[in-house]
Structure 1
Amino acid sequence: MSSKLKETFGAVPPGPQPSAPPPPGALAAKVRTLAPSMTRSMQRVAEAVAGDPAGSAALTVTGLAERTGTSEATVVRTARILGYPGYRDLRLALAALAAEQAAGRAPAVTADIAVDDPLAEVVAKLAQEEAQCLADTAAGLDTAQLEAAVGALATARRVDVYGIGASNLVGQDLVQKLLRIGLLAHAPADPHLAVTNAVQLRAGDVAVAITHSGRTTDVIEPLRVAFEHGATTVAITGRPQGEIAQYADHVLTTSSARESELRPAAMSSRTSQLLVVDCLFIGVAQRTYETAAPALSDSYEALAHRHAP
């Protein structure tokens, strides 16, 4: 088999494809987001290219397979999962990323917070991690999927938002924003109520599920019910290959910092989820500006007397 054939191994996998390969700067974010849902052999390839982009860019598909103890097919499949048509495209991105690192433009890796870190250092580390999560999410967000989700929300008869724990807090934030521009929205915290609400959804309604892991049963179940009843479904998740994606018409991927004993993933994933929520809200407000602007003004005016001058 020729090198060209090896580096474009196999047919394009079924399902929606990314509109364009992610930019070089998004590669590390893609690896952090997608690696947990990969097979162990694919994880070795992903970690190798993210950890040593310059060295990996110098290798053929066969060379990288040998370095990671995997197969050529695994290397190409990993490239596809990361958003590149083939290994050749991934090599180009790796070379560009290596150039960015050499120029000092690539983000530094933030260390985990230790139990004996001074509070000032904790503040600095948290701020850097939050900024990195936001940058990673923005770099990896599929704007075509975002546009489609905004379009569905802007014309929705009703919006249901499902989330548990920290994700429910994010869902409440989205609902509050949508209500203030005149959209009918709910975010039931009770998982049983979420399912019974989902039963009432139909075509023209929208259901939004928020789950970092992509496998939270109490979020998957109402989204599945909404999907089966014809509603447009949106998933905001850090695991786009997770079970939640089976019932989502549109998937919006978030990123999070590395998990540690003192910093569970839910903390940083919430930051990324809030960014996506803000993107959705601004997009909907733009689409419905003639009604959204007066509604916002009215809500501010209604509460003005409750704030001290």
Structure 2
Amino acid sequence: MPQSPPAPRRSSATPSGPPGPAALAAKVRTMAPSMTRSMQRVAETVAQDPAGCARLTVTGLAERTGTSEATVVRTSRMLGYPGYRDLRLALAGLAAQQESGAAPAVTADIAVDDPIAEVVTKLAHDEQQSLADTAAGLDTSQLEATVAAMATARRVDIYGVGASGLVGQDLAQKLLRIGLVAHCHTDPHLAITTAVQLRPGDVAVAITHSGRTVDVIEPLRVAFDHGATTVAISGRPDGEVSQYADHLLATSTARESELRPAAMSSRTGQLLVVDCLFIGVAQRTYESAAPALSASYEALAHRHSPRQR
């Protein structure tokens, strides 16, 4: 008889608690695309008017959004809160932050006829917002667990395609420069071929903004089945990739537009997570990482200096 697949090891990837006020707006932006239309109305309403919604009962918010009490409760839970009461407390905290001037103004999408100076301003704002949202929503307990696994890993395999593949290559070269064995595989066939060689003590990292990229999920599943510690860096915490991730590192879901597709908007948050992982691993392995990093700088120094004639 065929063997059933191993049960997902997801206990360690459970979020440490409901998001605080600073993370609520980021959570709404991240989760809204995967919600139903009625749940989106609730999420967008609480994000746009936290002060007003904090004064509403569950019945009042349902009436304001044209939904049901059950939809309000489901939205609260999808945003990471046990119930609507906890969401109201976070809304009150977010409203207080906005009143103190902590919330940035939201700029419009980039238009075809925008002057280049305005494009710079809008992109800078969106990049800053993506970084802030990712930082606010990042589960530091999951980050620390991933760092610990990488610091002692025999090897680290990273999977990504398209723009996520470029981010994966950035992570691989950073880890290589501090003496770790790390490789990024952007070819799905090669990724699966190497994933079958992983075992307990190795780390596999999948980078996918959508959480549904088959060419990334498949090698992570294979690594998962072979006992490697698996990590997902994703903008969709509820995506399929999370089923095979021991540790989940969520990135922000920035606003997309015709002139700023997901490949651009997702990369900023992913690069922040990559840099956090690199610094964390370098800190834990400092005695070996510092000499390795110095040696790599020294080996490349002559390539960054003018040639002597």
Give your verdict on TM over 0.5. Answer: yes
Mapped to 2, the partners of 1:175 and 1:110 lie a distance apart of 35
Mapped to 2, the partners of 1:217 and 1:304 lie a distance apart of 40
Q: Given the alignment of the two structures, is residue 60 of structure 1 paired with residue 57 of structure 2, yes or no?
A: yes
Bigger CA drift: 180-189 or 79-88? 79-88
What are the equivalent positions in structure 2 for 1:33-52 lying under 5 Å apart?
33-52=30-49
Bigger CA drift: 42-51 or 169-178? 42-51
Shift of 1:59: 0.7
Shift of 1:74: 2.4
Counting aligned pairs with the same residue, the percent is: 82
Q: Given the alignment of the two structures, is residue 302 of structure 1 paired with residue 296 of structure 2, yes or no?
A: no
Which deviations, in whole Å up to 9, do the C-alpha atoms of 1:87-126 show, x marking residues without a partner? 1111111112112222222122121000000000001111
Partner of 1:185: 182
Give the secondary structure class of the aligned counterpart of 1:234. Answer: strand
Mapped to 2, the partners of 1:228 and 1:41 lie a distance apart of 37
Mapped to 1, the partners of 2:69 and 2:14 lie a distance apart of 21
Change in 2 beyond 3 A, CA 1:296/1:236 = same
Partner of 2:78: 81
Q: Given the alignment of the two structures, is residue 203 of structure 1 paired with residue 193 of structure 2, yes or no?
A: no
What are the equivalent positions in structure 2 for 1:97-246 lying under 5 Å apart?
97-246=94-243
Which deviations, in whole Å up to 9, do the C-alpha atoms of 1:139-182 show, x marking residues without a partner? 00000110111111111111110000000000000000000111
Mapped to 2, the partners of 1:245 and 1:190 lie a distance apart of 21
Q: Amino acid of the residue matched to residue 122 of structure 1?
A: V
Match of 1:257 among 254, 257, 267: 254
Mapped to 2, the partners of 1:90 and 1:295 lie a distance apart of 47
Bigger CA drift: 69-78 or 278-287? 69-78
Mapped to 1, the partners of 2:194 and 2:69 lie a distance apart of 47
Which deviations, in whole Å up to 9, do the C-alpha atoms of 1:39-63 show, x marking residues without a partner? 2222221111111111111111121
RMSD across aligned C-alpha pairs, in angstroms? 1.4
Mapped to 2, the partners of 1:31 and 1:278 lie a distance apart of 24
Shift of 1:73: 2.7
Which deviations, in whole Å up to 9, do the C-alpha atoms of 1:122-145 show, x marking residues without a partner? 011111110110000000000011
Partner of 1:287: 284
Mapped to 2, the partners of 1:92 and 1:39 lie a distance apart of 24
Shift of 1:66: 2.3
Mapped to 2, the partners of 1:96 and 1:249 lie a distance apart of 32
Aligned length: 296
Give the secondary structure class of the aligned counterpart of 1:207. Answer: strand
Give the secondary structure class of the aligned counterpart of 1:157. Answer: coil
Q: Which runs of 5+ in 1 are unaligned?
A: 1-13
Bigger CA drift: 268-277 or 37-46? 37-46
Give the secondary structure class of the aligned counterpart of 1:92. Answer: helix
Give the secondary structure class of the aligned counterpart of 1:20. Answer: coil
Give the secondary structure class of the aligned counterpart of 2:61. Answer: helix
Bigger CA drift: 80-89 or 175-184? 80-89
Mapped to 2, the partners of 1:139 and 1:265 lie a distance apart of 20
Q: Given the alignment of the two structures, is residue 21 of structure 1 paired with residue 27 of structure 2, yes or no?
A: no
Mapped to 2, the partners of 1:118 and 1:112 lie a distance apart of 13
Q: 1:25·1:106 contact (CA, 8 Å) conserved in 2?
A: no
Partner of 2:271: 274
Partner of 1:4: none
Give the secondary structure class of the aligned counterpart of 1:161. Answer: strand
Q: Amino acid of the residue matched to residue 232 of structure 2?
A: A
Q: 1:113·1:125 contact (CA, 8 Å) conserved in 2?
A: yes
Bigger CA drift: 145-154 or 96-105? 96-105
Q: Which runs of 5+ in 2 are unaligned?
A: 1-9
Higher RCO (CA < 8 A, seq sep 6+): 2
